[in-house]
Structure 1
Amino acid sequence: MAESIGLPKLKISFQVAAQTVANRSKKGYVGLIVRDTNAQGLHKLSSTTLIPSNLGEENKTYIQRAFTGSDRGTPSLVYLAVIAPNGLEEEGTQALEGGLKLLESVSLDYLAVPRDASPEELTLLTTWTKAQREAYRTVKLVRPFGKAGSDHMGIIELDEPTMTAGAASVTGPEYCGRMAGILAGIPMGMSCTNVPLPELTAVTARTVEEQEAAIDAGKLILVRDGMKAKIARGVNSLVTIPPDGSADWRKIKVVEGLDLITYFLRTTIEDSWVGQYPNTYDNKQLLVSFILEYLQYLEGQGVLNPGSSYCEIDYDRQLNWLKSQGVEVADLTRQQVLEYQTGTWVFLRCGGRIVDAMEDFEVLVNPMSLAMAA
């Protein structure tokens, strides 16, 4: 039976030994969903002045929080999906599905759950996010922690049931938009660990042991250091490391680096290469050089370790493909294999080491040296 041609295939594989690399050409897009009788549909907001004026005040506050960002940056864009309010749980879920359909037409970095999401809707949002990421769309969901963790690198779970901002109480779901805005505004070379939250006067009280246990369980938590509230450690909900994965995938910054890479590869290949060039060795090398140039840019931006980037035609996969097509490869040199025609397929391998941010310090102070200096 002949093999089905199907749609053009874009296969991207992350491996610990050779992280697949490239980068988004943009960063900092947030997705929000609110329920309102007015202004239903999808809105592209570049500032708070573009928030629909006829929305309810609580919805306006939720959206404004997303634009706040942090001292490390603010989101550049908010995509707002306004869906119909429904009293019935089933109808509410259907309205949410409609909102997600709207958001599928745009590119997002972080999606916050609705501030009044039901348990069923949280499940729907989690399932939708996982499916998007399976399709190499690099959205990450910010949601409150539930009864059990999602255990997924694309799901960030805020475990702060109730916080205090001045005289007002703020729930975890109400704060997810704020967290999505913070994460989207973090520059490529920084993490969200220790980002201050000056408006919060109280967060969940935990001992040091409880804080460490929560972080190890994949919970994004807040702490107070005696002067201000801040993010304790930038972690996602991943706890179970896959066989071909890395413990670093639990860090929001590391996953953001991987997602920058995935976004660049997907959009660049789909938009600029699929169907547009003859599949020759020279054109493959042109694509290799283009990808490598971008990887080296990422090195300078603190995403990849300097000197760690590479990109080349994947000899092993190309050799296996030739064998599967009945080509006699025993007498072919390595260069002949690399230059051999491969139909519509392009096999590349690229990599680089993702750089984490400085978060843990050990500084030895010699008291005798200080005494002598005095």
Structure 2
Amino acid sequence: MATTNGLPTLKIAFEAAAAAVVSRTKKGVAAVMVRDENAQGVYSISSTLFIPSGLGEANKAHIRTAFQGSDRGEPSQVVLVVIATGTSDTTALEAGLKLLEAYSIDYLAGPPDVTEDELDVLNTWVLAQREQYNTVKLVRPYLTAGSDEMGIIELDETGLANKDGPVTAAAYCARLAGIFAGVPVSMSATNVSMSELTAVTPRTMLEQQTAINNGKLIFVHDGLQAYIARAVNSLTTIPDKGNEDWSKIKIVEGMDLIRYYLRNTIRQSYMGRYANTYDNKQLLVAAIQDYFQYLESAGVLNPGQSYAQVDYDRQLEWINTQGVSTTNMSRQEVLEYQTGSWVFIRCGGRLVDAQEDFEVVFNTL
């Protein structure tokens, strides 16, 4: 007889996970790296008041930009990584990233004077973290070739300026990390304004469109304020089983949050707690379906398109690897076959995009 011990706990855990995704409003975490001779280490700070006093004034000002956010929200925390000075090699940066592995972050910006070699290290580190289902995305300057990764956002701006003078793209990435971390999962960063900028890279409308299509994050200036033209990441090569909207920062943020909470909830509330029977697999399926329905009702996932089920194809493949003939097995027999410690679940849904493109027709009477 199937056990149902712990079912309420599992259901509550998934409800909490769904609520965590929905309540992502103004609760993201940005990570910022700086070089300084003093106060080296990692600091999780919730306010500019807690910026280490021993840092240089330029570094303090740089860190404050990550807290600014936008009219759509501010980050809940900034994880500050202070590394040793010097850029002759990547040793200091690598040491800082090692320390950062103990923290859960959403967006990362390297030092304002980041080198090309360090950008390569940052790319590699972020992609490795994402392979482990961590939610970190890198915000970096665009150089000569795009990264073509949905976890890497590349700012292509060479004409930035504020009231104090020119601003490099690398130095502005901390500001962007804070903006992205503060945007709710129900919104996008497209058209977020940055009033402190007095100039951006001049582009024609065609050049703007081309840059965006090539996975570059760019700004536009309407004569009054600068705006993010379109909140895109560097992905331009869409995977065979992927969608074009994976190139949007909002969509990837939603995907990351759902995967993160889904994985962690299973690990914390299911793994090792249940006998691996078909009925208990269906218990997990039902809990995931409830999780998705909550997200659908909250406008995170598109209604009616979410699903969860025991993965028939993976079950069949696993049985065959055990040397068992499946020729005469019915579909239900395959689904109910005892699979050792393995649980194969297939699930998915479609994230709801933000309103970014409009067509309004005005007819005169």
Fold-level match, TM-score > 0.5?
A: yes
Contact 1:24 1:263 in 2 (8 A): no
Q: From 170, 183, 189, give the equivalent of 2:180.
A: 183
Letter of the structure 2 residue corresponding to residue 70 of structure 1: S
Contact 1:189–1:301, Cα closer than 8 Å, also in 2: no
Conserved? CA contact 2:150–2:235, under 8 Å: yes
Q: Residue 222 of structure 1 corresponds to which residue in structure 2?
A: 219
Aligned to 1:211: 208
Contact 1:153-1:236 at 8 Å conserved across structures:
yes
Q: Equivalent residue for 1:16?
A: none
* Equivalent position of 1:31 in the other structure: 31
Q: 2:73 is matched with which residue?
A: 73
Counterpart position of 2:124: 127
In 2, the alpha carbon distance for the partners of 1:126 and 1:256 equals: 18
Is the alpha carbon distance of 1:350 and 1:317 closer, same or farther for their aligned partners in structure 2, counting shifts above 3 Å?
A: same
2:153 is aligned with 1:152: no
Q: Equivalent residue of 1:367, what SS? A: coil
In structure 2, relative to structure 1, the CA distance for the partners of 1:249 and 1:22 (3 Å cut) is farther
Contact 1:23 1:260 in 2 (8 A): no
Per the alignment, residue 47 of structure 1 pairs with 47
Residue 165 of structure 1 and its aligned partner are, at CA, apart by 1.8
- Residue 83 of structure 1 corresponds to 83
Q: Deviations over 1:285-305 (max 9, x none)?
A: 222122222212222333210
Alpha-carbon distance in 1 for matches of 2:281, 2:263: 16
Deviation, 1:66, is 0.5
* Shift of residue 121, structure 1, vs aligned partner: 0.5
Among residues 268, 274, 282, which one is paired with 2:279 in the alignment? Answer: 282
Which string of whole-angstrom CA distances, capped at 9 and with x for unpartnered residues, describes residues 139-183 of structure 1? 110000101111111110011124222233321111100001101
- 1:288-367 map, 5 Å: 288-367=285-364
Select 2:241's aligned residue among 216, 235, 244. 244
Measured in 1, the distance between the counterparts of 2:327 and 2:146 equals 51
Distance in 2 (CA, whole Å) between partners of 1:209 and 1:111 is 30
Maintained 8 Å contact 2:18/2:294:
no
Q: Tell me, yes or no, if the aligned pair for 1:22 and 1:260 is still in contact at 8 Å.
A: no
CA distance in structure 2 between the aligned counterparts of 1:314 and 1:326, rounded to whole angstroms = 19
The C-alpha deviation readout for 1:300-326, integer Å capped at 9, x for no partner, is: 333210121111111221122122223
Range with bigger deviation, 290-299 or 208-217: 290-299
AA at the equivalent of 1:59: N
CA distance in 2, matches of 1:289, 1:46: 37
Residue type of the alignment partner of 1:81: V
Partner-residue secondary structure (3-state), 1:201: strand
| In 2, Cα distance between equivalents of 1:271 and 1:29 | 22
- Considering only aligned residues, what root-mean-square deviation do their CA atoms show, in Å? 1.8
Counterpart code for 1:301: A
Instruction: Give 1:198 deviation, angstroms.
Output: 1.2
Alignment partner, residue 171 of structure 1: 168
Write the distance in 1 (CA, Å) between the matches of 2:109 and 2:287: 34
Moved more, 279-288 or 107-116: 279-288
Distance 1:349 1:142, change over 3 A: same
For 1:201, the equivalent position in structure 2 comes to 198
- The CA deviation at 1:138 is 2.2
Query: Hey, what does 2:7 align to over in structure 1?
Result: none
Greater shift in the superposed pair: 167-176 or 67-76: 167-176
**Residues in 2 aligned to 1:301 and 1:56: alpha-carbon distance in whole angstroms:** 44
- The two structures have a TM-score, normalised by structure 2, of 0.90
Which residue identity lines up with residue 292 of structure 1 in the other structure? Q
Q: Displacement, 1:24?
A: 6.1
**1:261 match:** 258
Aligned twin of 1:13: none
TM-score (norm 1): 0.88
Partner secondary structure for residue 345 of structure 1: coil
Residue identity in the other structure for 1:52: P
| Superposed CA offset, 1:21-60 (max 9, x none) | 9896565011111111221111111111111111111111
Distance 1:284 1:347 in 2: 9
Corresponding residue for residue 5 of structure 2: none
For 1:192 and 1:264, the matched residues in 2 are separated by 22
Identity over aligned pairs, percent: 60
Provide the residue aligned with 2:228 in structure 1: 231
Deviation digits for residues 222-247 of structure 1, max 9, x if unmatched?
A: 00123211100011111122222221
How far did residue 79 of structure 1 move?
A: 0.9
Gaps of 5+ in 1: 1-20, 369-374
